[in-house]
Structure 1
Amino acid sequence: MNNNIIYELTPIEFRLDLKDPFLFTAHHIDHFPAGNAQLGPVSPAQNHEYNMYYGETVPGFPEHPHTGFETITLVEQGFVDHFDSLGNGGRYAAGDVQWLSTGNGVEHCEMFPLIHQDKSNPFELFQIWFNSSAEQKKQDAAYKMMWREQIPHVFETDQESRKSDIRVISGHYKETEAISRPPHSWAADSRNKVNIYLLTLEPYAELTIPATSPTSSRFAYFYQGNTLKIEDQTVQHKYLAELKPDAEIHLKAGGLEARILWLEGEPIDEPVAMRGPFVLNSAQELDDAFRRYRATHFGEWPWDSPAPVFKREQPRFASYEGGQRKEFPESEL
């Protein structure tokens, strides 16, 4: 596919391969059953039945390291329990976003407790792997919670009174600014034009996304609905479109509600060397980072398990500064 607006269309099963400053995005979906007393599945299950079941009891990803990039985790359904080697922890859920800058190294775990015992626990999230500049890779790791109550929404109505909802995760949409990003993020500087939106269009709703700079990377992932028109091209759901950045893009939903992950940003334009969970600028830097990890584990793991979880009744919260400071969304106070 190559035309004036859509450069390429790619069918997606799980992983979205992207371009600088984005590395890739994983679209995780699991249909977990009701939970048991240990927050695992109530019915016996083999791990291979699910995409994200690497723990022994609770689904998720036990203790593992990262360095040199950022993970931006957007939860659509379910709960996530976060623990890291900085001594921080937290629980977040549908509509929340966690932005983790891994910097010069951190270990963390992401567990998916099955909170509901009387019904199924559907789970869905996006995790965007977002690169860092060489200087940002040297900074200490840090993370920020963006609660659903705080994330800005822009509501637009087309000529037929059909509505669109634009959740502004990063950057800005027209005059609406997102919550600030971690300070040592490529996305923190407005000159880098890192705009991340979650778009929801009512059936047949029309929406026009403003142009960005001609040098930006730009992608739209149509992940829910039946069809979506991008300009005059009809796109099926679960397709990724690489788009012309310096043009307004007209969208029109089909007969079902349409949901789209929208990503755009200026490239970092530095070499990328990636090996597993480490992203640096050269093979030598990767070798050095793996030696440093084997020697230090990026700090002492302060938790009593590689896959800890909070109690079922724990409300959403985040802890920072080694657990010295806690933050709760307004609805949990």
Structure 2
Amino acid sequence: SMYHGNEIPGFPAHPHRGFETVTIVRKGLVAHADSLGATARYGEGDVQWLTTGAGIQHGEMFPLVHEDKDNTLDLFQIWLNLPAKNKMAPPNFTMFWAHEIPHYIHCDEHNRHAKVEIVAGDYHAVENPAVIKALPPPTHSWANEPDSEVAIWIIQLDAGASLQLPTASSSAVRSLYLTSGEGVTLAGETFCKRVMIELKPDQAVTITNPLTTPIELLLLQGKPIGEPMAARGPFVMNSQEELIQAMNEYHRTEFGGWPWPSRSHTHGLAERFAQYPDGRRE
């Protein structure tokens, strides 16, 4: 089963080291708690960017806040590797609240809209030449490297709408996922099902919605870090020896232990908020 909570669905406390998670919640809520004593509730368009670094335990629970209707949850969680120099960085998380996340909107002559939600990576608009700056990524993230070309964009197209993607260098890797809707047209070819399409980032391409209903796509992009990678379960390191070290250190230290009364800790009916390890609260 996807859900491991006994009473509340979700993922009770578990460890990570050596990479980042970018959790984009489209619908519903997530309750976060971690071994640093930080906690949060976020959703309905919010993004949490968690740098696991040297090691952290965290729980991701999906609270059942509605008794009179379904508690729908729709999210993407993207794992982003850390370069070797930052794998032992201090763990922390950053919140991108829905109202802070930049957007690009293009409206054509038929009043059809193309909208881009810019989670990471500046967006260089083609139709109306402009640069929409993304929010700053965490300090130790690969996305914070000037030449990483990391991009996370959510693209929404009205029925019949089109969008020309900005180009990137040929050394980047770019993938496009159809996440909502049953069809998309690229470079004159129509795909009539949910697909993942690998694109050449240095070539211009136009995305068109061939349907009579809106569609949504997720674009992921970045240059490879170019280092050895060893991954097992919740740890992503550079060698098997580092993986063994991570496992041994977790069993010995529990990455600081678990300060909450339950490994499935949630926040009752609290509104969205974040409390950071240094005591700051949003």
TM-score (norm 1): 0.81
Aligned to 2:44: 94
Distance of 2:140 and 2:176 partners within structure 1 = 26
Q: Write out aligned runs for 1:245-324 (5 A).
A: 245-255=201-211, 256-312=213-269, 314-322=270-278, 324=279
1:199 pairs, out of 137, 140, 155, with 155
1:122 aligns with 2:78: no
2:35 pairs, out of 85, 110, 113, with 85
Question: How far did 1:159 drift?
Answer: 4.1
Q: Write out aligned runs for 1:61-210 (5 A).
A: 61-174=11-124, 175-210=131-166
Distance of 1:293 and 1:68 partners within structure 2 = 13
Question: What stretches of structure 1 move > 4 A for 4+ residues in a row?
Answer: none
Distance of 2:103 and 2:247 partners within structure 1 = 41
Question: How far did 1:223 drift?
Answer: 1.1
Distance of 2:148 and 2:109 partners within structure 1 = 33
Identical amino acids, percent of aligned pairs: 41
Distance of 1:122 and 1:161 partners within structure 2 = 31
1:213 aligns with 2:153: no
Distance of 2:46 and 2:196 partners within structure 1 = 23
Distance of 1:185 and 1:225 partners within structure 2 = 32
Distance of 1:219 and 1:259 partners within structure 2 = 14
Distance of 1:88 and 1:318 partners within structure 2 = 8
In structure 1, what residue type is equivalent to 2:71?
Answer: N
Distance of 1:74 and 1:190 partners within structure 2 = 23
User: SS at 2:98's partner residue?
Assistant: coil
- Residues 182, 194 of structure 2: 8 Å contact kept: no
1:42-69 deviation per Cα after TM superposition (whole angstroms, max 9, x unaligned): xxxxxx4xx3x21111100000000000
- Residues 53, 90 of structure 2: 8 Å contact kept: yes
User: SS at 1:191's partner residue?
Assistant: coil
In structure 1, what residue type is equivalent to 2:280?
Answer: R
User: SS at 1:297's partner residue?
Assistant: helix
User: SS at 1:135's partner residue?
Assistant: helix
Distance of 2:114 and 2:25 partners within structure 1 = 20
Higher mean Cα deviation, 233-242 or 270-279? Answer: 233-242
2:190 pairs, out of 219, 228, 234, with 234
Q: Which runs of 5+ in 1 are unaligned?
A: 1-47, 328-333
1:144-193 deviation per Cα after TM superposition (whole angstroms, max 9, x unaligned): 00000100011012343311110000011110011111100000123211
Q: Which runs of 5+ in 2 are unaligned?
A: 125-130
Distance of 2:221 and 2:59 partners within structure 1 = 28
In structure 2, what residue type is equivalent to 1:308?
Answer: H
Aligned to 2:180: 224
Task: Please report the RMSD computed on the Cα atoms of aligned residues, expressed in angstroms.
Answer: 1.0
Aligned to 2:280: 325
Question: How far did 1:116 drift?
Answer: 1.1
User: SS at 1:326's partner residue?
Assistant: coil
TM-score (norm 2): 0.95
User: SS at 1:122's partner residue?
Assistant: coil
User: SS at 2:216's partner residue?
Assistant: strand
User: SS at 1:298's partner residue?
Assistant: helix
In structure 2, what residue type is equivalent to 1:97?
Answer: V
Higher mean Cα deviation, 213-222 or 150-159? Answer: 150-159
Distance of 2:63 and 2:11 partners within structure 1 = 11
In structure 1, what residue type is equivalent to 2:59?
Answer: C
Distance of 2:146 and 2:68 partners within structure 1 = 45
1:207-235 deviation per Cα after TM superposition (whole angstroms, max 9, x unaligned): 10011010001000001112100111112
Distance of 2:223 and 2:192 partners within structure 1 = 27
In structure 2, what residue type is equivalent to 1:291?
Answer: N
In structure 1, what residue type is equivalent to 2:134?
Answer: A
